[in-house]
Amino acid sequence: MAQRPLSPHVFIYRFAYTMATSIFHRATGVALSLSLLLLVGFVVALAAGPGSYASYMSLAASWPVQLLLAVLLLCFSFHFANGIRHLLWDAGIGLERKAARFSAKLVTVLAVLATVALLALFYRHGAAP
């Protein structure tokens, strides 16, 4: 393929945080794709019996994995909230600049709140997910 100029020329734009939500949507999406391995691993371990399930859960209980799971939960909450924002855009709702900037802030705040709420539920008995 010939070397043609690529569009859009992202580096000539002044940075706006709506750009950050856009690229984070993609980045969190890729992270969630990788965490499908964890979800399918979980049901496969559960199907394989108590021994496999115990090994899976003891791996999940270590603090680096707990930290990873918490970050993935944040990725999930953000991708979920921002995904609804995208679906509303597809329906023609909230496309104006002011509305898009407001909803960028809104989904970020909602994602953090949802993550904190889910983590509080998961840890309410001191039990690790």
- Give residues in contact with another protein (CB under 8 A): 26, 29-30, 32-33, 36-37, 39-40, 43-44, 46-48, 50, 53-54, 57, 76, 80, 83-84, 86-87, 90, 118, 121-122, 125, 127-129
Kindly tell me which of 40 and 67 has the beta carbon lying closer to another protein.
40
Nearer to another protein among residue 100 and residue 119 (C-beta): 119
- Retrieve residue 114's tokens: 């949802």
Q: Is the bond into 8 cis (omega within 30 degrees of 0)?
A: yes
Task: Write down the least CB distance from residue 17 to another protein, Å.
Answer: 22
CA gap 96, 88 in Å, rounded: 12
CA–CA separation, 70 vs 57, rounded Å?
15
